[in-house]
Amino acid sequence: MKHLFLLLFIVMSDAIAEEPVILVLGDSLSAAYGIERSQGWVALLEHRLAEQGYPHKVVNASISGDTTAGGLSRLPRALAQFSPDILIIELGANDGLRGLTNRQTREHLAQMITLAQAVPSRPLLLGMMLPPNFGKAFTEKFLLIYQELAEEREVPLVPFFLEGVADRTEWMQGDGLHPRAEGQPRMLEHVWKELAPMLERQNGTKLTRQ
């Protein structure tokens, strides 16, 4: 009987250890700022994964107000703790809002990609734009950070995470920066478009299409 319990324990431990992890490293846009956490796109992602038969566990390591510098400082510990198969990087907007240079933002994002790929973990980059009051030239250069990094490092990219959300005032909170619950499903769709092919390429993934 002892041997049976030991065998069951080993099997269960292996199953837990093999559970693939998706780590979300973001700011308030992923931390469900101003809405119920269960309404945020990360929580909606968890539900979709379960509904479609994926075994992945989602770990949300997002902090409201975080910058790429903050995310970079937290990432090594998170990678060591969770060993994620996929790392979703949703950072940079606060860099622009606080006046950090594009060079700093780009360097921090590049270092995060390097750290992830060394685990190895597959990065997914979520592109961000700044409000139009920052000026067309600056906002376009900011957006190019993500496009250029994705091409150079050959990582999947969501071109603009808030596409079709930021320009709908009824979907945005009073500050004009954070989406309401109504905009979260659209945000998930943007992520899912790039994430789904990554999941399908992963060996052993259980997939049940609806």
- Active-site residue list: 28, 175, 178
Q: Is 57 left (phi over 0), alpha (psi -120 to 50) or beta?
A: beta
136 token code pair: 């067309």
Q: Which helix (H) or strand (E) holds 77?
A: helix 68-82
DSSP 86: E
* Cis, peptide link before residue 123, omega less than 30° from 0: no
